[in-house]
Amino acid sequence: MFKKLLVFIPFLVFGDSFKDIRLSIENSLKYKLAQKKVQIYKEKLKSVKAKNYGSLDLEYNGVLFFKRPMMKTEAKEPVAVASDGVHLVYQTFNTEQPLSDKTHFIGSLTYSYPIFTGFAISGLIQKSKLELIKSKLELQNTKRELILNAAKLYSNIYSLKCQLKALNSAKSALQSAREKAEGFYKEGLINKSALDEINAKYYEVIADIKNIESMKNSLLNTLSYLINKKVSSIDGIVSLDKMVFNPKFENRPDVKAIKETLLISSEDIKLAKSKLYPQVAFQIALKREADDVFLTKNDYQNIDKSYVGIGIKYNIFDGGEKNAEIQMAKKLKLSNLIFYNDYLKNIKTEYQNDLNSYKALFFRLKAAKEEVKARESYYEYVKAKFNEGLSDSSDLNDAIAKLASAKAKRDSIKSEIFFLNVKLKLNGGEYVY
């Protein structure tokens, strides 16, 4: 029973399907890096929103004066009558009074609130919201690009896998031909050069197999790096039935992200214009000044110095800086709009070109299938003649090589169709993230 189970085990081992690869995309380090960017913008939005609640600051300061603070006063007092008997003679007296002890402590709890900022805070909050939306769309676009790259690698690996299958089939055919040729040579029916030619072709095919295996392993390593997961082999490709596409370019995450950039540009204009308005702020503070650490003793002035205040700040002249910033923001928005229109036209052109290639591939696939049939028929014909000694080794080698090439060509077209299937869905905005 155990031996029978061992026989079936090889048939139960499958490579990763493209669905498996696609589901592993979010494990990619590049995707995780884009996720961190979203988290950064979430924290930035929280930071900007905090400005809407004002600021509460607790401050405590203690100083030790090298000299005791003193207040100097000057007073004049009449001391005598002048010789003219009319005017008085004054004497100046300088006095000093202490203002505080050599130790002085100040404590305050201050609340500040921006009453009016020219809509700068609301503009910053809206801009941060848009930046967060844009970062989420960029995360989706990162996923789109990773899936597209994975599909390209998967299709190339599949193509190489099929080439290996064709070459191994050619290798088996050549091995059979070698054995037959060795028998003919021993019987004197063919010369040594004919046997050597088949041997040379056999080792050439082995070299090709090793080269293709190396290329396939390199692509598997690249795919493993892309999804941050080991991929040792792949499965086949999905159905290659011709599909009808319904592109919705506005649904593409990269297009949506650029549209968010336009909205962000509008907020930048508002922020630049906010500097044209005065800045009004409110402040209230509980403040105490004393000569002791606990702020309970002051023999020289009142302890409580709490206050309420409103401040207005308005720039009268800045040399045209504000106007220049407004014009710069407007030009940046116009530049982003031009970029958006150009980007949209470019992706539509690329999509149409891919769609044209996609349609043409089905005609190429049909021709390739017919070519494989023809090459198989020709190979069987030449092999039968060779086995009867009516055809030389060069004809057989040529028939084997052309059959392997035709199979590789057919499967390469299949891999291209598979890739364009995925690409047209992704680039046409039909893929749901």
**Mind listing the pLDDT tens digit for each residue in 197-253?**
889 999 999 999 999 999 999 999 999 999 999 999 999 887 678 888 999 999 999
292-325: b or e for each residue (b if 16 or more CB lie within 10 Å)?
eeebeebeeeeeeeeeeeeeeeeeeeeeeeeeeb
What six digits make up the tokens of 416?
Answer: 């291209």
Range with the lowest mean pLDDT among 44-48, 99-103, 135-139?
A: 99-103
pLDDT at 138 over 60: yes
pLDDT at 128 over 80: yes
pLDDT tier, 132 (very low <50, low <70, confident <90, very high otherwise)? very high
pLDDT tier, 93 (very low <50, low <70, confident <90, very high otherwise)? confident
pLDDT for 131:
97
pLDDT for 14:
62
pLDDT at 432 over 90: no
Contacts of 101 (CB under 8 A, 6+ apart): 68, 291, 299, 300
Q: How far apart are CA 42 and CA 194, in angstroms?
A: 74
**Domain 13-53+118-277+320-427 has what CATH class?**
mainly alpha
* Stated pTM of the model: 0.84
Task: Kindly tell me the burial class for residue 174, based on how many C-beta atoms sit within 10 Å of its own C-beta (0-12, 13-18, 19 or more).
Answer: buried
pLDDT tier, 396 (very low <50, low <70, confident <90, very high otherwise)? confident
Q: How far apart are CA 114 and CA 123, in angstroms?
A: 14
pLDDT at 112 over 80: yes
pLDDT at 1 over 50: no
pLDDT for 4:
42
Q: Where are the alpha helices (DSSP H) in 13-119?
A: 18-23, 29-49
Total H helices, total E strands in the chain: 8, 6
pLDDT for 5:
41
pLDDT tens, position by position, 184-196: 888 777 788 888 8
**Residue appearing with tokens 């401040």:** 311
pLDDT for 330:
97
| Cβ atoms 333, 265 nearer than 8 A | yes
Q: Which neighbouring-strand residues pair with 105?
A: 62, 290
pLDDT for 85:
67
pLDDT tier, 141 (very low <50, low <70, confident <90, very high otherwise)? very high
Q: How far apart are CA 156 and CA 414, in angstroms?
A: 10
Q: How far apart are CA 361 and CA 368, in angstroms?
A: 10
User: What average pLDDT does this structure show over 157-175?
Assistant: 93
Please, how many CA atoms are within 13 Å of residue 277, restricted to the half-sphere of its CB?
15
Q: How far is CA 369 from CA 374, 403, 409, 412, 414, in A?
A: 9, 11, 9, 12, 11
pLDDT tens, position by position, 280-335: 999 999 999 999 999 999 988 899 999 999 999 999 999 999 999 999 999 999 99
pLDDT for 69:
86
Q: How far is CA 305 from CA 64, 111, 290, 406, in A?
A: 20, 15, 10, 95
Domain coordinates of the chain in residue numbers? 13-53+118-277+320-427
Q: How far apart are CA 285 and CA 258, in angstroms?
A: 46
The DSSP code for 296 is -
Q: Where are the alpha helices (DSSP H) in 291-392?
A: 321-387
Average pLDDT, the chain: 90
pLDDT at 369 over 80: yes
